[in-house]
């Protein structure tokens, strides 16, 4: 493998990992709140814990969506750059890019709808901190 190709792969991996590093602080260490685990979970859980659970699931889902989208954008871009005049490979790369963009927009729109509904129902834009 040529030295230039190795450096390109390293740079693509770093670019793909950049969103992961930026969102690392917001990713929950545990999806289910601590009070809702164990033998007395039914007694200890409250509505506040359900809100925290929903927030943790949303954060984890957005984290995974950003990471996978960045990786797939990089892969589609690499395929497009290495098409070398092969129109079918370039078309396939554009389709992947379009599909990833549409999927990511759907995920972000779903997050926006859920966040707006929860903020409306709780009366607070910081609905994950209502307790």
Per-residue pLDDT averaged across 57-63, rounded? Answer: 82
Read off the pLDDT of residues 12-57 as tens digits, 9 standing for 90 and up: 777 766 665 555 555 667 777 777 777 776 777 777 777 777 777 8
Q: Is 7 a member of any domain?
A: yes
More confident: 89 or 30? 89
Q: Is 101 a member of any domain?
A: yes
Q: How far apart are CA 33 and CA 50, in angstroms?
A: 8
Whether residue 92 is predicted with pLDDT greater than 60 in this model: the reply is yes
Whole-model pTM?
A: 0.64
CB atoms within 10 A of CB 102: 10
Q: Is 31 a member of any domain?
A: no
Q: Is 42 a member of any domain?
A: no
**Domain around 110:** 3-25+47-129
Looking from the CA of 52 toward its CB, the CA atoms found within 13 Å total 16
Q: Is 19 a member of any domain?
A: yes
Whether residue 7 is predicted with pLDDT greater than 60 in this model: the reply is yes
Q: Is 85 a member of any domain?
A: yes
Give the pLDDT confidence score for residue 22 in this predicted structure: 57
DSSP string, the chain: --HHHHHHHHHHHHHHHHHHHHHGGGS-S-SS-GGGSSTTHHHH--HHHHHHHHHHHHHHHHHHHHHHHHHHHHHHHHHHHT-TT-HHHHHHHHHHHHHHHHHHHHHHHHHHHHHHHHHHHHT-S-GGG--
Q: For residue 56, what are the CA distances in angstroms to 14, 29, 53?
A: 26, 9, 5
Instruction: Tell me how many domains the chain contains.
Output: 1
Q: Is 93 a member of any domain?
A: yes
Q: How far is CA 100 from the centre of its chain?
A: 12
Q: Is 38 a member of any domain?
A: no
Read off the pLDDT of residues 101-124 as tens digits, 9 standing for 90 and up: 999 999 889 888 887 887 787 776
Whether residue 91 is predicted with pLDDT greater than 90 in this model: the reply is yes
């Amino acid at each position: 493998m040529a030295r230039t190709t190795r450096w390109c792969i390293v740079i693509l991996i770093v670019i793909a990992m950049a969103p992961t590093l930026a969102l690392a602080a917001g990713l929950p260490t545990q999806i289910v709140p601590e009070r809702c685990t164990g033998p007395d979970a039914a007694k200890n859980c409250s509505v506040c814990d359900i809100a925290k659970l929903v927030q943790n699931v949303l954060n984890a889902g957005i984290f995974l969506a950003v990471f996978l989208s960045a990786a797939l954008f990089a892969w589609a871009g690499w395929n497009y750059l290495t098409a070398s005049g092969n129109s079918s490979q370039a078309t396939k790369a554009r389709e992947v890019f379009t599909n990833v963009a549409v999927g990511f927009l759907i995920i972000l729109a779903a997050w926006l709808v859920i966040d707006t509904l929860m903020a409306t129902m709780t009366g607070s834009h910081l609905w994950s901190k209502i307790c």
